[in-house]
Amino acid sequence: MTKEFVDTRILDARQPGAIEEAARQLKRGQLVAFPTDTLYGVGADPFNGEAIDRLYQAKERPLEKGIPVLLADVADLEKMVKAVPAVARPLMARFWPGPLTLIMPRRADLPAALSPNEGIAVRIPDNAVARRFIRAAGGAVATSSANRAGEAPACDAHEALVALRGLVAVVLDGGLVHYGQASTILDCTCHPPQLLREGPIAAKNLPLVIGTS
């Protein structure tokens, strides 16, 4: 699949209808850059295999790296996850919404391109614009950072536009992000859970929640 170039629009999330228009574009198979609590993300419909392929192409992201999924609410987990591991429940209660990504067993009916294995990375961002957008898009958005692979991540709409102009249909401007660094990632498909990346939530704080040392 070759890159498709589009006219990129910037929509101010504060303007009436902007979030809903961004969600409509995503449901049509387009890519949308939007703010989260950690970084700006570039999102695709997680149930549309062609849109996911477009996301890999835009990012120049290796196919062996899966695409995390951002959720609007805990109830949306069932769209992505086959079963919630017991160890994940106290982490969700403590850190969601927030900058903690949890890997859980994926549903078998999801597009294969979302993940190279049987797990899927999910979280609920602590950002009102992000959650409104994700909810308007159906509750789940496949999301990677809004930058080309190997380049610095975007922390505001201008940086996202510079990185992805012509590759995303919409940049949803929600201002500057809170954390400015990628989320902490914990793999809950293994025992004990494995820390894959330390971000805003320090590794030392996780054992206190899950009851391990």
- The string of pLDDT tens digits covering residues 109-164 is 999 999 999 999 999 999 999 999 999 999 999 999 999 988 999 999 999 999 99
Q: Give domain status of residue 1, yes or no.
A: no
Token couple for 196: 């894959």
Q: Interior CA angle at 63 toward 22 and 177, to 5°?
A: 40
- CATH label of the domain that carries residue 187: 3.90.870.10
Q: Give domain status of residue 102, yes or no.
A: yes
Residue with tokens 């303007």: 15
Given a cut of 50, is residue 213 above it in pLDDT? no
Given a cut of 50, is residue 82 above it in pLDDT? yes
| Overall domain count for the chain | 1
Q: Give domain status of residue 4, yes or no.
A: no
Compute how many other C-beta atoms are within 10 angstroms of the C-beta atom of residue 197.
12
Q: Give domain status of residue 175, yes or no.
A: yes
Token couple for 90: 């106290």
The total number of residues written for the chain in this structure: 213
187 is in which domain, residue-wise?
Answer: 9-210
End-to-end Cα, the chain, rounded Å: 46
**Helix or strand or coil: residue 56?**
helix
pTM of the predicted model over 0.85:
yes
